[in-house]
Amino acid sequence: QVQLVESGGGLVQAGGSLRLSCAASGNIFRIDDMAWYRQAPGKQRDLVAGVTSGGSTNYVDSVRGRFTISRDYAKNTVYLQMNSLNAEDTAVYYCYVQLLRRGSTRIQTYWGQGTQVTVSS
């Protein structure tokens, strides 16, 4: 009864920009933490950026100053603005959400379907 829909991925030249979106919908009472992860072929899935329920943000060192994570509380949506992209940013990007469902007292974790970001040199 909860789904995450990602959008905004694609092909971009080095130095370009993309904006990813992830919208949560369904049986949601409250969303806590939201984050973006990425995974390149043959590598592990790593945290890129996160934003807590209190609005605090954190970034992996390699994207700090280039990427910005933000959220729209009313729309249950998290964004990732990616600037100055380089080849090392090429990966599948996954949305991650921790939320409380209506009628529940336990926090649950959900993942988006993933969206491909390819940066050409």
What does the pLDDT look like over 60-83, one tens digit per residue?
999 999 999 999 999 999 999 999
Please give the C-alpha separations between residue 64 and each of 10, 60, 67, 115, in angstroms, as whole numbers. Answer: 21, 6, 6, 21
Q: What is the mean pLDDT of residues 43-67?
A: 97
Q: What is the pLDDT of residue 84?
A: 98
Whether the predicted pLDDT of 87 surpasses 90: yes
Whether the predicted pLDDT of 46 surpasses 90: yes
Q: What is the pLDDT of residue 28?
A: 97
**Which of 59, 87, 71, 68 shows the shortest CA–CA distance to 33?**
71
Whether the predicted pLDDT of 1 surpasses 90: no
Name the percent of the chain lying above pLDDT 70.
100
Residues 6+ apart with CB under 8 A from 64: none
